[in-house]
Structure formats: structure tokens, C-alpha cells
Structure 1
């Protein structure tokens, strides 16, 4: 059965589907980045809200700014923008067909359809999932990078921008000229202070285009922070076959995910928002404690287990979570070096939160992969691991395990596992990383000289010496022996 509005009433009875009339929905949000995470997270939260019969004027118009978004648009158009979300849980699975997206804008290099849509009065929120590395921030400084080719292009060609941020500025300029209140820019990406980061990029680029407009954006546009969480692996033929065989549904872009989801949102929406409080979203004045907890315990845990698992030839995350050496390494690292650097979180027991993280990692149904966790280390290490290193050093604690994470990453970047099998390095800075990692085999400090990654830690004697000991041990003893030594 091909998924579409004409077949939605013929779905199996155990598949949830919209009880709302898609014809009654009106757009209120433009969302850029229609990957799996968005469709299993924000889009599903709105689906739950619409199921309550509420806020049908907050439907989503999808958009993309990359060439690959053409294919996503074509696939979703063929099924009337519907998506099957399959929640995998050891206690019972659940499939939901969602219909909160009612259109997907044509993808054009000059972004004219996107600018036009965001200029409309009905759009009150522009939301983003453009990946952690998609905000044009210099990792070595944490500041907006005006030298990036995309930003230089948009600064010179503000009416035909390449980036979503250039398009946002162009739309805000039109709204200001027409005296239409500005929309709220809501980042849903998994990075610290995502609202502040989005604001820095928009204003930083606007200052290159029009200082007066940049000042107006500074005074009138709001960028709330958010903490988002749900494990959503990439979709492959495996997932498509799973949906077909289990439910008889032909969905070109299904999403499989865990049953757990969390969304903590700064409640700052001058032009209004959906009733997020009615569907389990935590609304707060300060997202930071929740965000730091998640980034350090969950994302830091992902980064810590990814590279030793890859070096031991483990493919699935749940297998790694059950492996005694990986599990022992993660437990000791989290307990001794990560959790002590996580401040208290309202109404949250950090030990219980970590226990839940382990339960999520052990879920075999999700079939999340180690190669996915290994992706984009040049963006993830500086965000998820190295800040904890700095805090642990400041408090005088051991950084043996944290430096081992960096050493394992360096060893992984050599491109082979401990059995000699080839490893594909999936990172925008892959060539640079591999070059420094290969030189580090004989001179470990060569890897730390990646100042764009390590910054001041390259010159920290305690971190440098601990990293060197761990990397040399990995080469002389192998991953298994080094993990056994660390666990004790």
C-alpha cells in the first residue's frame, strides 16, 4: 500500500493516523531541514497537539537549502507529505502516520520560494534542524565566521542567498518594510545554546549586509534556546522493508526511532506559539541546565563509546552497550569524570538520568549504528567532550578517561580498526584530521596541534601528557588491553 491521503483510511488498525482533517490545517511554521530527527520529534509533537483538536493554524511548511533536499521533497510529495514514524521499544512498538507538514517548498539555489514563504504574515515561527555544524561558527573561537564562502556570497548577494540564514535575513527585511511583526527563529539542533548560536549567525551575517537591518533584528527578533532529544537512526532499505513487512506500508521516507523523546524549550515567543505545554514539552526560562545534562551525559557518552566500539569492529550501538569493556569504560568515565561536572537540574536525578541513557543505548529495536555516532567528530568533540575536560581540570579531577576518548578518536582516524579492517572517516574535515592523526603515530602532540579542535588544551601539560600516554598505549597494546587497564 503506497502511503498517501487516498490510502490513509485503509491502514492497518494498529497504525495510528491523523484524526484531524488535513484540509483544516493552516501554516504557522516554516521548518528548514526535513531530516529524520525533525519528523520524529517536532513534527510528532505537533501531530499530538493536532490530535487534541487544538492549534490547527500551526501546521508546518517544509523547506531545504541543500541540493540533496530535492530528493527528500520528491519522495514526500509522492505521499502527500505524510510520514510513518515507527517507535521501537522492548516493551512494545508503535507506528504513527503523521500529517503535520502540509507543503514542502521548491528547493532553489537562490532560495526565492523560501524567502517568499517566510515573508508571509501567517508564519510566526521559523524552525531549524540544519545539523550542529551548519551555523557557520568558527570552532576555535565560538564566534560567527564571516569568512566562510557561503557567508561571503550572501553578504554580497543578499537578495539571492545560498544559506538559510541569508534567506531569513532577506525575509525579515521584507517583513520590516511591510510592517509585519518578525517571526521567532527556533533552533532545534543538538548544540549548546542553540538559540544564541542562531542569533549570532543571523546578526553576524546581517551586519555584513546592512548595519541598520542588523540593529533592527537585534532589537526585535527572538531566538529561544531548546534542548531536544531522541535517537533517530538514518533510514535505509532495512527500515523501509521493516515498515513494508510489518504494516504493509510503502513509505519512501519512514523514520524509526526509540520511544523516548524530550523537548525543553525557552518560553519566549512574542508572536505566539502552539500549546506546547499540552503535549509534554517542558517550558522554562532557563534551558541551560537541561542542555548541559544531555550534552555531557548522553552526547558525551555517545562520543566516548563510538570510537572504541569502532576499533573493536562493533557495528550496532546496542551491541556496544552490552559489551563488557565498552560498558565498563562508559560507566567509569561517566561516574568519575562526567557526572561530577554536571550541575543540578530541576526535578531530575542525574544518576537516574544516566541509567535511562543506558537503557536507551541497549535498545536493539532502534538499531542505531556506531558509524553514525562516529560521524562529524570535528564538530562533536569540541562540544561534547572537551568542555568537560576543561571543567574537570579546573576542579583538579582526573582526566585519564576523557583524554582516552580523544586518543581513541585519534587512533580511529588512522582509518583501520584493531583487526586491520578499513574504516571510512565521515567528517567535513576528514583530510585534515587524517593527516594529523597519521603524524601523531610517531608524534602524539601533532594531533593536539589542531587548535581549531583543541584550542588551549593543546598547551595544557596534564591533558597533553595523559593523551600521549593513552595514544601510545593504544598503538602498543591495542584497544582491548587499554580499556581493561582503565577499568582496572
Structure 2
């Protein structure tokens, strides 16, 4: 028999850790956009741990979303008093905890209520987990795109914004007019320089309204950079069933994740912050070396295995790591091409870090899927793979493996696996990518004509030649045989 998750049911739950604090002692200090799985497995877990220490109960979370789909999540969490079961899974076992750091969740579209809460003096941090694609970044230049229709709309309707950045700006303006100090804006998304990217989005939107307003944003509001890390797959019926069977908890929206978690933050919070260093957050003056390492080695590693595994009809990430060709491919590309162009990180051995990544990828209980890793390559490749290619070219080093990573992505976007199975759309730009991949089947260089993704690399003769040979080889002999040639240094 299972226990339906709710505040009233907490005393009856014996299979999972439950909050050691009373929810009525919490008051809001953080407003968070994007109550997805990663947020609930990461930021919310850190705060829950801090509250369990009896610390900083005035920093609870109020959530919000801006998409219609967010209302579905809101409904699930509302029915269980905003509680979430987080299941940490490792090869040797699992453990569950119920977190209660969020105390409310505003409806998408309730613009006035959201702006009111943003303007509330108790709101001292506004955080975001809106995915890499949510920042209106031009892929090639990696800069804010002020011409996007959503941004143009918000510039013309600043009193009724539809984007996260329009809402943040509206809240800041209301605080300025009322003489209330600005809150800190903290991105928790996995993008390089996420604080600077967020600042460029808010100030870029402000500049379309009034250049002086943009200057006020840049001079007044803090946007600390941060590096976040925890492998957190999507929740399916599989996870809900495991939770019910193994822990006897009925949760409509549980989160399954690995035991490992990491958060490195620049300590720039003029409006105050919770004492997250007491629960493992590392505060530093410059997060860039840490995020550079993580994005190139871990996320670049995910991109390296995703597409050949997808082409070989492999479903789970741990199954990809069990495939001798794919695991060897990952190891060779990382050691020979990615790690050598990653700058040093304080007190960190990059090869040790990669070995930890290998262990995490191979976790058989996490249930992470190859399809999730392959998602949204048009936004992720320019952040995770293309910069390493550019660094290799600049240093005059070889890039056969990284060119092959890009070629596997192109082949994947053609829309069929090596066995002929259909690959369902897996990118916001899927139609464009499949059309380009079809052209590239006969003319591989056509794939690199996407200058919004490859930038100046589209004109690099050496990269074009190496990529073209790799893609032609994949089409001629297939994924497995191509991997064998690469691993034998015969590609």
C-alpha cells in the first residue's frame, strides 16, 4: 500500500527522509522561474538541507513558470502541498528524501501576481532554470538576440510581458519606483557565463525600451555566475512505479537523480543570500574555470556519446557506456582532444574529473536516456563541442574525434538510425536540421553552412575536409565500423 504524498501524510512516511523543519516556519526569499526536475533535484535540495539544519528559514522558494505546460506541473505539485520526492540512485542502492523548500507556485499567465511577488521586498533572489534554449542567444555569436519576436513583443508591451526577462525587468522597475533595492538575479542553467548571459538578456531587453534603463540594470542589479551539476533524467511512469514499489510513496512528480551534486557560485549577493556554504555550495570569486571544465568535459562528453549511441539504437546512457566502441570513443576524444584545451582549474586534476564523469555516466540505476542527451543539439553543440573545435584549430592541433562528434550529430539529424528506425523529432529546429542533413548526405560541407551554429568554422578548410570525410565514412560503412576505424587511428 502506498502513501499519497502531502504535508498531512509526512508522519506516516518511514521509507524516506522527510523535512525536519515545520513548513509553517518558512517564509519566502527566493522567486524561481522553471520548476523542472533539475531545479527540484539541485537548488531545492540544497535549500532543504539548509532548512534541516535550522538555518535561514526566510529563504523559501516561490515558483513560477511562463509556459502553458508549466501549469501541468503546478497542478501536480499543488495536489501534494508543493512537496517533491527526490530519489538518489547509485549502483549499490537508492535513497529517497521528501523536500519542502518550495511553499507556493504561481500560475503561468498570472502576470500581475508574478510582478507583485518580484516587487515584494522579501524577494531578494530571483533564480532561473529555463534550459539553454531559453535565453534568446544567437548560436553563432553566443550573444543576446534582440530581434527575437518574444523580445520585440516585451519591449513593446513592458506592462504585460510574456518572457522571464520581461517579467524580471517589470519587477525591477516596480522596485525602483518604490525605492526598494534590486534583487539578485541568479541563473542555474548550464550555459557558459550564465550570469553574464542573463544580464545581457535583461539589459538587452531594457535597451530596447530605454538605453538609460539598460545602464541602470547593469549598474544596479547583480548577476552572479554559477556552475551547476547533477545528472537528472526526465520522470516517466517507470520512475513513478519504482517509487511506489520501493518506497511506497505515491508522488505525481518525483525526481530521480544521481547521488553526486555540485554547485559553484560567485559570491555576489548584495541583497543577501542563504548560508548555502553550510550544505556544500562552493563560493568563489571566479566560477569560469569550473564551468569551463564542466561544460567541455562533462557536457561535451554527453554530446560525444549521445549521437553514435542513438544511431545504434541504444536507449539508456549506462548501456552506451557498456558498449566497448562508444566508451572507448568517449575516452579517446576526451583525453586526446577535449581535456588538452581545457585551462587548469584550482585544486582539480582534469583527468580525475573525467574519470568521475565516466563513473557517473555508467551509473546503471539512474535511468538517464540517450535521447535526453541528444536533445536540442542546435543549442547545445555551439556551447559544448564547437568551442573545443575552435580551440583545437587555433592551437594547430588535430580534431578528427571532435569532427566525428559533429558528423554523428549530422547523421542523427537525418532522422533514422543505422537499423532504419525512425528518430522522432528531438530539437526545436528539427525540420531545418533534417533538411540540412539530407543535403549533407551528398555534400557534407552543406551541414557546416549553418553559420549560426558553426560561425567562423564554416569557412575553415581543414575542419570542412575532416568533417566531410567523417560524415562520408559514416554513411558508407555505418556507425560501428566508423568508430572502429577512428579507434584504430585509421579514419
TM-score, normalised via structure 2 length: 0.98
Query: How far, CA to CA, are the matches of 2:107 and 2:302 in structure 1?
Result: 35
Query: How far, CA to CA, are the matches of 1:125 and 1:72 in structure 2?
Result: 22
Query: How far, CA to CA, are the matches of 2:151 and 2:362 in structure 1?
Result: 41
For residue 248 of structure 1, report the CA deviation from its aligned partner. 1.1
Query: How far, CA to CA, are the matches of 2:394 and 2:147 in structure 1?
Result: 33
Query: How far, CA to CA, are the matches of 1:463 and 1:131 in structure 2?
Result: 29
Conserved? CA contact 1:299–1:384, under 8 Å? yes
Structure-2 residue corresponding to 1:4: 6
Which deviates further from its counterpart, 144-153 or 60-69? 144-153
TM alignment of 1:345-360, pairs within 5 A:
345-360=345-360
Structure-2 residue corresponding to 1:443: 443
For residue 91 of structure 1, report the CA deviation from its aligned partner. 2.9
Query: How far, CA to CA, are the matches of 2:105 and 2:419 in structure 1?
Result: 46
| Structural RMSD (CA) | 0.8
Unpaired segments ≥5 residues, structure 2: none
Conserved? CA contact 1:173–1:213, under 8 Å? no
Structure-1 residue corresponding to 2:93: 92
TM-score, normalised via structure 1 length: 0.99
Query: How far, CA to CA, are the matches of 1:237 and 1:379 in structure 2?
Result: 28
Paired positions, count: 486
SS where residue 469 of structure 1 aligns?
Answer: helix
Unpaired segments ≥5 residues, structure 1: none
C-alpha offsets along residues 44-94 of structure 1, whole Å, 9 cap, x if unaligned? Answer: 000000000000000000110000011111100000000000000123311
For residue 211 of structure 1, report the CA deviation from its aligned partner. 2.6
For residue 318 of structure 1, report the CA deviation from its aligned partner. 0.0
Query: How far, CA to CA, are the matches of 2:91 and 2:403 in structure 1?
Result: 34
1:460 matched to 2:436: no
SS where residue 134 of structure 1 aligns?
Answer: helix
C-alpha offsets along residues 388-414 of structure 1, whole Å, 9 cap, x if unaligned? Answer: 001111112110000000110111111
Query: How far, CA to CA, are the matches of 1:238 and 1:93 in structure 2?
Result: 15
1:175 matched to 2:199: no
Which deviates further from its counterpart, 44-53 or 343-352? 343-352
C-alpha offsets along residues 124-164 of structure 1, whole Å, 9 cap, x if unaligned? Answer: 00000000010011112222111111101100000100001
SS where residue 302 of structure 1 aligns?
Answer: helix
Conserved? CA contact 1:43–1:101, under 8 Å? yes
Structure-2 residue corresponding to 1:242: 242
For residue 343 of structure 1, report the CA deviation from its aligned partner. 1.0
For residue 212 of structure 1, report the CA deviation from its aligned partner. 2.7
Structure-2 residue corresponding to 1:319: 319
SS where residue 441 of structure 1 aligns?
Answer: helix
C-alpha offsets along residues 352-391 of structure 1, whole Å, 9 cap, x if unaligned? Answer: 1111001001101101000111100000100000100011
SS where residue 15 of structure 1 aligns?
Answer: coil
Structure-2 residue corresponding to 1:68: 69
Query: How far, CA to CA, are the matches of 2:274 and 2:423 in structure 1?
Result: 44
TM alignment of 1:225-236, pairs within 5 A:
225-236=225-236
Structure-2 residue corresponding to 1:49: 50
Structure-1 residue corresponding to 2:41: 40
TM alignment of 1:417-428, pairs within 5 A:
417-428=417-428
TM alignment of 1:330-409, pairs within 5 A:
330-409=330-409
Conserved? CA contact 1:107–1:113, under 8 Å? no
For residue 279 of structure 1, report the CA deviation from its aligned partner. 0.6
Query: How far, CA to CA, are the matches of 1:457 and 1:394 in structure 2?
Result: 11
